[in-house]
Amino acid sequence: MYQNSFVEHAIGFRSDSHISDPHDHSLTIAEQKLENNSATKNLWIALYFPSLPILATGQSHNNQPTVVYETISPNFLLIYANITAQMIGIKQGMSPSELSAFAPYIKILKRDLKKEQLIIKKLAALANAWSPTVMIADHLILLLEIGSTLRLHNGLTSLTRRIERSIPNELEDYHIAITPTPESAKLCVKYTTHTYLTDYTQLVSYIRDISVDKVTLSDRQYKLLSDLGIKTIGDIFRLQRSGVSQRFGFEFLNYIDRLTGKIIDPKPFSKSRPSFYADIDLEGEISTVQQLSSGITSLLMKLEQYLTKSYAAINQLDWYFYYENNCYEKLPIRLNQLQRNFVSLYRISELSIKSLLLSDVVINIALYARPQAISELDNTQFLITANESKKYEFLDRLCARIGSHTINGIRCNATHKPEAAWAYCTPGNKSGFFPVGARPFFIFKTPRLLVTRDRKPYFHGTLKLSKCERIVTNWWEQYPIKRDYYIASNHQGQLWVFRDIGTKSWYIHGRF
Amino acid sequence: MKPCSIDKKKGVSKGRSGIKNHLTLPTGYTELDQYLPGGGWPLGTLTEILIRSPEETPLWLIIPALAKLNNEPRWQVWTSPAHIPYAPALMSSGIDLSKILILNPPTYKDIVWTIEQSLSSGVCSAVVFWLRTLTNKTSHRFKLAAAHGGTWAICFCLLGHSRNETMSSLKFSYLPNRYGGKINILRCAGNKSHHTLQINNNIA
């Protein structure tokens, strides 16, 4: 019955179609028998959050036309335009020159991918309540396998209602798609706001009208499709498999097969990890830090036993100190490398706890940690040398004493805007190298205004200026600059100064 | 050859031939190397550089040596730097930024603790720090810690405190000028006479 309906559907594409050997590469994709019957038992939900980029910037737009962009060097990509921006004609994928026509009226924000990933991971953790199989796709989409959990949720309608109630208000413009395969769910969720397609036999006919714009392809592939006059997924189905493989690559053919459920589509899924929690009631009047050591020792020994049994390690732990007056104090400790050894954990905890000022008598101490299974770690995690290990233990001791917020690495950023060309980062992070001209070893956080005499910069004396270096940034940046930089020298030393082309003022930006 | 004399007040052993037990590292400036015992910066001990203000820190003077030390798989610690060490300039000079630690401890006590821990840990090739003033006691602690950890300690102090007696192995004052700066070597183990020399940095 299923096969007949598929053949009838296939006849709709070509009048001379017939059922043949599925491995015959002369057949079109639509005419192939679907081998994987288990696909009919699967059902997937895709949730797409198009406004996540703007939410992640943390800036309110208050009905002002607002767009979010990212720069994937050297290209500028407009990835989101809010409703107000869309109403005045701005669309995703617009080029900078097209956008410049709207320049004074729109708010342009840079994408914060890190924050987006944080939010989507939180949503994924929330989604675990609806399905044990949750995946994050393309930064903005959650994929959930729900075929196996429908009975638990009393059916699809009940499940979708629960999802609707649980999505945060800030993301209420989400799209939802329910289809039999994960790739088709991903595709449909971008195509329209609501898709409910539970019948596998209707999948191909539903997705054939979707434009190829919705598929993630390279520029070359888009051009090729356009040159061939292919506008929809259905047009691709009409092509010969061998031709598709030759022109677009085996990966693309593989994608089409996963889209239609012809082949299975295994994906890694995100899973929330179990946590460790233990506490201890303290006897006697514990009001100094030294008196806490026996409680701390006991809890850390329990943690070590737990980690050994579960073959796991931790890189963070949280201490809680509960006072007699019903208040509590939290002391988070972050480690630079995974640990499960009692002695190391005790030394670092002791250093951190020394700085505590107990406000009252402590009646209970609790320890919370999120272990990571060692099997999930990168292979090289426990192959670091003794010296490397010592380096990070030293870092842990520093963090415990002076706080991790006071310890930074530095890195270069790929921009020629001087104040943005550097950033603090996690110690040990590798930095890309971006060749620049002569730069000072010290830069000021904000440039300092220089006095001028006869329109020339003056700093405890006349300055002799070197050759000029003009630095101009992209107009769409939030704070674009246009400056002429010089190395200026006098008896006070060598300075890095610039003249702002707009305001004609002189500033000192750093010292050599 | 005169025997070594022990200055009983200061407890410092002075030898004619200069520092015997320290490794040295060429500064990158030959006009400076010729005045330093061993022909370079003394490693595993304390170098003290006196400046008029933190803004006039002559980083260009120490960067060539830091870049060479950066080849070691150890941290290079900058404690309470006067301003932001500019990553593109450091990277252009050959410094691997992944080995740099910038520390900003909240209190003076924490600063001293951090410096001492960094020097004695053995996992730091160099520790650069800025202090308003360096006392004899603190400099002694730092010197011992540097020797223990095999670390090069570089302290930038204010010029107004140059009269403080400290235990640094190398001490000089620095005044910037148009072409680089003028260095006045105040103490250099094994060398009694002061030297003033001009070092050009070829930036301008």
* pLDDT tens-digit map of A106-147: 888 888 888 888 888 888 888 877 887 888 888 889 998 888
Which whole number is the average pLDDT over A181-204? 88
Banded pLDDT at A39 (limits 50, 70, 90)? very low
Average pLDDT, chain B: 85
What pTM was computed for the model?
Answer: 0.61
Chain A contact probe: residue of B53, B57, B59, B97 with most A CBs at under 10 A:
B97
* Paired sense of beta strands B100-103 and A407-412, if any: antiparallel
Q: In the prediction, which pLDDT does B142 show? A: 96
Question: What is the per-residue burial (b if ≥16 Cβ within 10 Å, else e) of A322-358?
Answer: bbeeeeeeeeebebbbbbbebebbbebbbbbbeeeeb
* DSSP string across B21-51: S--EE--S-HHHHTTSGGGSEETTSEEEEEE
In a domain, B51, yes or no: yes
Question: Is the pLDDT confidence value at B155 over 60?
Answer: yes
In a domain, B22, yes or no: no
The answer to whether residue B107 scores a pLDDT higher than 70 is: yes
A433 contacts in B (CB within 8 Å)?
Answer: 91
pLDDT at A12: 27
Mark yes or no for CB contact A445/B84 under 8 Å: yes
Confidence of residue A252 (pLDDT cuts 50, 70, 90): confident
- Residue B13 in any domain: the answer is no
Query: Residue B192 pLDDT > 70, yes or no?
Result: no
> Residue A6 above 70 pLDDT?
no
Q: Is the pLDDT of residue A10 over 70?
A: no
Q: B52: domain range?
A: 28-200
Report residue A160 as tokens. 């979708």
Work out the average pLDDT over B7-28: 53
The CATH number assigned to the domain holding B184 equals 3.40.50.300
Which residues have C-beta within 8 Å of that of residue B127, sequence separation ≥ 6? B76, B77, B79, B115, B118, B119, B146, B151, B152, B153, B154
* Residue in B with minimal Cα distance to A414: B88
- 3 state SS of A110: strand
Q: Does B72 touch chain A (CB under 8 A)?
A: no
Q: Is the pLDDT of residue B57 over 90?
A: yes
Nearest CA in chain B to A409: B101
pLDDT band at A35 (very low <50, low <70, confident <90, very high): very low
User: What is the distance between the alpha carbons of residues A228 and A206, in angstroms, rounded to a whole number?
Assistant: 22
Interface residue of A404, A442, A469, A486 to substitute, partner B, most B CBs within 10 Å: A442
Is the confidence at residue A379, as pLDDT, over 70?
no
Residue A325's pLDDT is what? 82
For chain B, the domain total comes to 1
pLDDT, one tens digit per residue, over B128-142 is 999 988 889 999 999
- Both tokens of residue A9? 């559907």
pLDDT, average across residues A57-75 = 77
From chain B, pick out residues whose CB is under 8 angstroms from the CB of A444: 83-84
Q: pLDDT, tens digit, for every residue of A75-103?
A: 777 888 888 888 888 877 777 777 777 76
**Residue A224: half-sphere exposure toward Cβ, Cα within 13 Å:** 14
Tell me if residue A323 falls in helix, strand or coil. Answer: strand
Query: Do B175 and B168 touch, CB atoms closer than 8 A?
Result: no
pLDDT surpasses 70 at B50: yes
Asked if residue B143 has pLDDT above 80, the reply is yes
Please give the pLDDT value at position A394: 92
| Inter-chain CB proximity B84 and A390 less than 8 Å | no
Helices (H), A369-505: 386-402
Instruction: Name the residue among B57, B74, B87 with its Cβ closest to that of A412.
Output: B87
d(CA B195, CA A304): 60
pLDDT tens for each residue of A403-455? 888 999 999 988 888 998 999 998 988 877 777 788 999 999 889 999 998 88
What is the C-alpha to C-alpha distance for residues A415 and B37, in angstroms, rounded to an integer?
A: 43
Closest partner CB to B106 (pick from A402, A410, A512): A402
A409 touching chain B per CB within 8 A: yes
B90 chain-A contacts, CB cut-off 8 A:
410, 441
Determine the Cα–Cα distance for residues A59 and A108; give it in Å rounded to an integer.
11
- From chain A, the residues in CB contact with B84 under 8 A are 422, 442-445
Q: What is the reported pLDDT for B159?
A: 85
Domains of chain A are 40-48+116-260 (3.30.70.270), 59-111 (3.40.1170), 276-405 (3.30.1490.100), 418-511 (no CATH)
Taking CB atoms and an 8 Å limit, are A409 and B177 in contact across chains? no
Is residue B170 domain-resident? yes
A380-402: average pLDDT:
77
pLDDT value, residue A269? 60
CA nearest to B85 within chain A: A442
Mark yes or no for CB contact A407/B103 under 8 Å: yes
Tens-digit pLDDT profile for residues B178-191? 889 999 998 887 66
